[in-house]
């Protein structure tokens, strides 16, 4: 699977052939550090002074490299696919080899960092429901007022969370229709592609 880089990412990576391989290797180290600890403008300013360019240019170069490494690591693309993806950018053979080495050296660490950044969402455990119908009250002798009570149990952080929800059947039917529509949409090619890239 080849990476599909946008024009903006190509522009950000276009700065890399203008510097030596030692600088590109340093940018790779900064890119992994960026994933670990976040952005640090002082590093960009220091590198910009040494290279006599603007700090935005350095920041864009590091962000482009970060994107290249994270997307490659996320998709676990092979060495050959990585080389083909980078070859399209028109870099020299030496720079392509250096980028490949950066990818191979850091992909496990990047995947670990990305897995730690993933949100810990609750998951379904069980569901209980009850249908209540009020047939009459003191003021109204004949009325039909249905209500659906749902007790939803979710697993979250090793524990069980319980939520109690109550609604009328019309709203519940609308909710079911919306969920079915979302499930149908998940079967489209576009959604499959998005989900595959998220994993």
> Cβ distance 152 to 175 under 8 Å?
no
Query: pLDDT confidence of 1, banded at 50, 70, 90?
Result: low
Q: What pLDDT is recorded for position 164?
A: 95
Q: What percent of the chain has pLDDT over 90?
A: 23
Q: What angle do CA 92, 96, 101 make, to 5 degrees?
A: 150
Compute the average pLDDT of residues 76-94. Answer: 82
Query: pLDDT confidence of 199, banded at 50, 70, 90?
Result: low
pLDDT digits (tens, 9 = 90+) for 57-68: 888 888 888 888
In the DSSP assignment, the letter for residue 18 is G
CA distance 28 to 69: 9
Compute the average pLDDT of residues 102-117. Answer: 84
pLDDT digits (tens, 9 = 90+) for 4-45: 777 887 887 787 787 777 888 888 888 888 888 887 788 888
More confident residue, 94 or 170: 170
Q: What pLDDT is recorded for position 132?
A: 92
DSSP H/E element including 94? helix 93-117
From first CA to last CA, the distance across the chain in angstroms is 14
Q: What pLDDT is recorded for position 134?
A: 86
Distances, alpha carbon 34 to alpha carbons 75, 93, 103, 110, 189, in Å: 20, 26, 15, 11, 33
Sequence-ordered list of residues with C-beta below 8 angstroms from that of 129, at least 6 positions apart, any chain = 148, 149, 150, 151
Q: Strands of 123-134's sheet, edge to edge?
A: 123-134, 145-156, 159-167
Q: What pLDDT is recorded for position 56?
A: 84
């Amino acid at each position: 699977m080849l990476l599909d880089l946008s024009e903006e990412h190509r522009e950000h990576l276009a700065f890399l052939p203008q510097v030596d391989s030692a600088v590109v290797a340093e940018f790779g180290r900064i890119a992994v550090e960026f994933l670990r600890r976040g952005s640090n403008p002082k590093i960009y300013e220091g590198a910009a002074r040494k290279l006599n360019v603007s700090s935005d240019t350095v920041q864009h170069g590091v962000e482009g490299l970060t994107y290249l490494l994270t997307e490659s690591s996320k998709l676990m693309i092979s060495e050959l696919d990585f080389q083909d993806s980078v070859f399209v950018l028109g870099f020299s053979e030496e720079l392509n080899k250096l980028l490949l080495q950066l990818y191979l050296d850091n992909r496990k660490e990047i995947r670990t960092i990305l897995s730690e950044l993933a949100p810990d969402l609750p998951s379904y455990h069980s569901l209980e429901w009850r249908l209540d119908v009020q047939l009459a009250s003191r003021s109204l002798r004949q009325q039909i007022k249905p209500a659906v009570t749902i007790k939803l149990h979710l697993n979250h952080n090793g524990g069980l969370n319980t939520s109690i929800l109550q609604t009328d059947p019309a709203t519940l039917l609308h909710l079911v229709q919306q969920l079915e529509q979302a499930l149908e949409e998940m079967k489209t090619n576009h959604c499959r592609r998005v989900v595959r890239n998220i994993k």
